[in-house]
Chains A and B, each alone.
Chain A
Amino acid sequence: MKLGPVGDRSGLWVEGAVALFLIAFPTIVAFLNAGTDLATRILILGLFGLGVDLIFGFTGLLSFGQAAFYGSGGFITGYLLIHNIVSNSLAALALGTLAAAFFGLVIGALALRQTGVYFAMLTLAFGELFYFLDLSPLRNFTGSENGMPGVPKPVVPLGFTTLDFTSSMGTYIFVAILYFIGFVIARRIVRSPFGAVLRAIFENPERAAAVGHSVPRYKLVVFTIAAAYGGLAGGLLGMFQGYMPYEALSIDQSGEIIVMTVIGGPGTLIGPLIGAAVWTYLRQELQNIDAIAGIWKLILGLVFVLLITGFRRGIVGAILALTHRWKSES
């Protein structure tokens, strides 16, 4: 996605297109013989991926510990709702998101002391810390390997009335609204002066520092924002499934969201959603074909390696490159 100049307020068509897509999405998956729940799942991962894209696609920070925020946000949101500490779904989500952002701040402050490879290794290790905290010391809260069952579906009391999102379509609408808000905020971020500095850090951190930007602080802020996206998506996952799985904290989860982002196209915001759609849909379809049901992940892994090698910008990047060439020829 070609980013407009900073402060450019035109290009609202992207937000419009995303809104139209969100409205049409349940019909599209129905056309593919899949239920609305598939669309909801994809949106949750797309929301999670927005944060990953902000740190990786725009700032160049490759974190392998994002599941820590996805899981912690999800478990905290779920805990608040199950134990009736908070009855408003939105309030519980907000608290889960804030908690995840706080964890992001702490982990970021430590892991961002290093760059590149070491940063990736450290985030992976901190992700494991959260995973093991969940499994053993905190098992009374999180249910360890049993996960946390009974997370209520989204309900928003407004005083005069109560919005009920408990049906399958209702949950989709709830998630879609939050995805849209998340997308608009992320797009605002990358098109703001703050986002311009992020891209400067991506291109050349030394130069960004030399012109006077506090590179560590920018990195920490965007890392915290990404953690918040993870926490929100995790909270939605628990509500959507009615159950918060411990696997949400696993390395596989951290890896999968990166794989989805890269397949879809990093640095495009919409890429993670596309990647999540491809990954989730193919996984479901491949598992339905008897001959290859057991090797769906092997196939997707091979596709991923080929994509990294050949199409570094992912699906969206490849499409943009094609349309760009077509435009310059005509």
Chain B
Amino acid sequence: MSVHLIEAQLLNGVALGSILALVALGLTITFGLLGFVNFAHGAFFMVGAYAGWVVYTKTDSFFAGIATAIVFTFVLGAVIERVLIRFYYDRPKEDQILVTFGLGIVLVESVRAIFGGKTQLVQTPAWGASVVQVADLFYPQYRLEVVGIVAITLVTLWLILFKTRIGLIVRAGIDDALIVNILGINVHRTFLLVFALGVAVAGLSGVIDAPILAVYPDMGTGVLVQSFVVVVIGGVGSFSGAIVGGIVAGEIISLTTAFAPDYGQVMLYVAMALVLILRPQGLLGVEGRA
């Protein structure tokens, strides 16, 4: 086992982990703030990747692809919230899971009907196509840039949720929607915003992962499950937990794959089981939050 391989896998773990963290954060936003788990989150990830890919191949600009993915999934999320999701806020959690699961099927199958089931390779954008030297290792530039994009997004989201008036209303609405309504604030508009924001985060994750993962209709399934694991490891409803959980999950997959390729995925779930047994609230979760 060469040192280079381990170094490369460590960096791969960070790149993979940062994307998982972002996906898990999108999940946590809708979940922690609306109490609503979105089982279609992986499907939105996939829709974002396809939207970005279509525009990227047409315009040759990956930035245009990223912007399209964010805007398209945000609007799609807002529309779906209005026509479907809003009727589910007062229904049992099981119904919310079922309807978003069904929504996921509809999204995946719609994309399959439009674009076919084929895996489409997505070219790494020109600004990320070269390799950079990290210590004595040559590493694909794009993967490091992914980490940068994720970091910027995380900071932006944190500022929106914790430093703006909107974020304040959102958090107040979670605590007591009735009182916030009485104070003359339209809570439902805020819910719409939060849901669409969570979806757009999934869409963004999808498009930046597309050059690494390639695009295909079922690409979101694995990501959805892994982001669940991230949420369990990191701690439910915790902003920092999603980030820590993401990196931990990414490293577990990458490093295990280096030493025992067969167990790369399996080890992730073993780690999840261990966290559950030893620290059920997650690494950074607060007891009783669940």
Contact = CB atoms under 8 A, between A and B. Distances in A.
Interface of A: 56, 60, 62, 64, 110, 113-118, 120-122, 124-126, 128-129, 132-133, 136-137, 139, 251, 255, 258-259, 262, 294-295, 297-298, 300-302, 304-305, 308-309, 312
A305 B103 contact: yes
B101 A118 contact: no
A312 B113 contact: no
Interface stretch (B185-193, B204-212, B221-229): B221-229
B277 A137 contact: no
> What are the nearest 8 A-B pairs in CB distance?
A301-B105, A298-B109, A129-B269, A136-B262, A132-B265, A305-B102, A121-B228, A301-B106
Contacts of A302: 106
Listed residue (A120, A251, A294, A295) with the most chain B CB atoms within 10 angstroms of its CB: A120
B276 interface: yes
A132 B225 CA distance: 12
B44 to A, nearest CB: 15
Given A125-B269, A125-B272, A298-B113, A305 B263 contact: no
B105 A120 contact: no
B137 interface: no
A243 to B, nearest CB: 23
A226 to B, nearest CB: 15
A304 B109 CA distance: 13
Contact of B109 (A139, A255, A301): A301
Contacts of A139: 262
B95 to A, nearest CB: 6
A128 B265 contact: yes
Contacts of B277: 110
B95 A312 contact: yes
B97 A259 contact: no
Contact of B269 (A128, A259, A304, A312): A128
Which residue, B39, B93, B102, B263, has most C-beta atoms of chain A within 10 A? B102
10 contacts: A114-B290, A115-B290, A116-B94, A118-B290, A120-B94, A125-B269, A294-B113, A304-B102, A305-B103, A309-B99
B225 A125 contact: yes
Nearest to B27: A121
A136 B112 contact: no
Contacts of B270: 129
Given A129-B269, A132-B266, A62 B97 contact: yes
Contacts of B112: 294, 298
B103 A136 contact: no
A255 B101 contact: yes
Nearest to B225: A128
A302 B103 CA distance: 8
Interface of B: 31, 37, 39, 84, 87, 93-95, 97-99, 101-103, 105-106, 109-110, 112-113, 221, 225, 228-229, 231-232, 236, 261-266, 269-270, 272-273, 276-277, 280, 290
A136 B268 CA distance: 14
Nearest to A300: B105
A258 B99 CA distance: 12
Contacts of B97: 62, 117, 120
Contacts of B113: 294-295, 298
A308 B98 contact: yes
A129 B276 CA distance: 15
B94 A122 contact: no
A125 B98 contact: no
A258 B104 CA distance: 14
A116 B98 contact: no
Given A113-B276, A298-B109, A122 B102 contact: no
A35 B110 CA distance: 31
A177 B272 CA distance: 40
A39 B93 CA distance: 34
B289 to A, nearest CB: 11
Scoring B98, B103, B112 by chain A CB atoms within 10 A of each residue's CB, the highest score goes to: B98
Nearest to B95: A308
Contacts of A308: 95, 98-99, 102
A137 B102 contact: no
A301 B217 CA distance: 15
Contacts of A300: 105
Contacts of B106: 298, 301-302, 305
B266 A122 contact: no
B217 to A, nearest CB: 10
Contacts of B84: 305, 309
Contacts of B280: 113-114
A104 to B, nearest CB: 15
B210 to A, nearest CB: 21
Contacts of A126: 269, 273
Which among B37, B103, B269, B270 has the highest number of chain A CB atoms within 10 Å? Answer: B269
A137 B266 contact: yes
A113 B94 CA distance: 17
A126 B270 CA distance: 9
Contacts of A118: 232, 236, 290
B105 A117 contact: no
A64 B94 CA distance: 11
A129 B229 CA distance: 11
